[in-house]
Amino acid sequence: MTYRKRTLITAAAWAFALIGGYHSARAIYDNLTLSSMFSSPGFLMGMAGALIPVELPPLARLAAAHIRLVFAGYLLLSLSVLSAGVGLLLGKDWATALSRRLLYSAAGCCAALFLFPGLLVPEPFFIDGVAISADFNAAVGVMSFYLRVAALTLGAIFFFAARLIFGPGGGREEGRPVNGGEAPER
């Protein structure tokens, strides 16, 4: 492994560890806050009577229906990023595979948002073909545009970071055995 590649992996490890550590602490705090809120009957009664003027985007509807699972998933993902960073700092092979999978999964999620911004952005507000709120509809168009730009940019960063840091070979470096096999002859 070259010095440049070791430096990139160490930088990625520290980035994973710091981001994962911050978000893990944040997720623990958020889960504790959420559990204290949902134990209040007044909160649950207020949520039951809440009206939303527009149709929610699909991911927002899913998050609202399964809010506890969303927060638990956030905690699990944050701990995964933290463990990948610590594992990379310790030089573990499983951490390399986990980091690559996390980066490619993030790039895939960004690609999905680039192709389908309606997952997060609400639809323009029309009734019988007539625009009810022109300002809202204009804001929806702007949100959709910026979401696509951000998704394209972040997706490219995640994809090329995974390729640059961990290589395109799926973790197989020259001279290492694959799946318990023999090392190739030189």
Cα separation, 43 vs 131, whole angstroms? 34
End-to-end CA distance of the chain: 17
Give the CA radius of gyration of the chain.
Answer: 22
pLDDT band of residue 169 (cuts 50, 70, 90) is low
Structural domains counted in the chain: 1
142 found inside a domain: yes
179 found inside a domain: no
173 found inside a domain: no
Cα separation, 132 vs 71, whole angstroms? 35
Report, as an integer, the average pLDDT of 52-69.
80
Mean pLDDT score of the chain: 84
103 found inside a domain: yes
Contacts of 119 (CB under 8 A, 6+ apart): 57, 58, 59, 112, 113
Residue 54 pLDDT > 60, yes or no?
yes
Contact between 156 and 113 (Cβ < 8 Å): no
Q: What local confidence, expressed as pLDDT, does residue 37 receive?
A: 80
176 found inside a domain: no
Cα separation, 182 vs 177, whole angstroms? 5
pLDDT band of residue 53 (cuts 50, 70, 90) is low
- By percentage, how much of the chain surpasses pLDDT 90? 44
- Residues 109-124: pLDDT tens digits? 999 999 999 888 888 8
- CA distances in angstroms from 12 to 18, 31, 67, 100, 120, listed in the order given: 10, 27, 31, 11, 29
Scanning the structure block, which residue is given the tokens 């509809």?
A: 137
3-state secondary structure of 176: coil
Cα separation, 60 vs 28, whole angstroms? 21
Q: What local confidence, expressed as pLDDT, does residue 36 receive?
A: 83
178 found inside a domain: no
Nearest to 88 by CA among 20, 157, 163, 24: 20
Residue 82 pLDDT > 80, yes or no?
yes
104 found inside a domain: yes
Residue 180 pLDDT > 70, yes or no?
no
Q: What local confidence, expressed as pLDDT, does residue 176 receive?
A: 54
Q: What local confidence, expressed as pLDDT, does residue 21 receive?
A: 94
153 found inside a domain: yes
pLDDT band of residue 181 (cuts 50, 70, 90) is low
Domain limits for position 73 = 3-166
Nearest to 107 by CA among 62, 46, 151: 151
